[in-house]
């Protein structure tokens, strides 16, 4: 579960600002997840890495550490063309993002 008050404190923002930013993140991340799923199906590792990178950057900016770490794992695996766990990691990332 995401602690919005803790994120607000870390970022020095009002809770309402964090709520707005997380709503924007959720919308943008959903688009990136759709793209990532398509790229996984097409075995386009550069596309997977690009989508993961987009999520990673936004998650890092918002101090969403679990999402950041998992997106980084996916990005690195795709860049190294190691897709053994990509679908599992994708599912985990999707669950984390859809949790809020």
**Per-domain boundaries in the chain:** 4-9+16-98
pTM passes above 0.95: no
Quick one: 67 exposed, middle or buried, by C-beta within 10 A (0-12, 13-18, 19+)? buried
Contact yes or no for 6/64 (Cβ under 8 A): no
The 3-class SS string of 45-64 reads HHHHHHHHHHHHHHHHHCCC
Looking at residue 97, its pLDDT comes to 94
Closest by Cα among 29, 37, 92, 96 to 61: 29
| Structure-block tokens of residue 47 | 């596309």
CATH topology of domain 4-9+16-98: 1.20.120
Q: What is the pLDDT along the chain (100 residues), one digit of tens a residue?
A: 789 999 999 999 999 999 999 999 999 999 999 999 999 999 999 999 999 999 999 999 999 999 999 999 999 999 998 767 889 999 999 999 988 7
């Amino acid at each position: 579960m995401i602690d919005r008050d803790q994120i607000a404190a870390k970022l020095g923002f009002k809770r309402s600002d964090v709520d707005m930013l997380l709503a924007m993140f959720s919308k943008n991340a959903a688009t990136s997840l759709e793209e990532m799923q398509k790229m996984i199906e097409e075995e386009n590792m550069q596309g997977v890495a690009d989508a993961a990178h987009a999520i990673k950057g936004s998650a890092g900016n918002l101090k969403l550490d679990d999402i950041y770490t998992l997106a980084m794992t996916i990005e690195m695996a795709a860049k190294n063309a190691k897709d053994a766990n990509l679908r599992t990691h994708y599912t985990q990332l999707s669950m984390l993002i859809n949790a809020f």
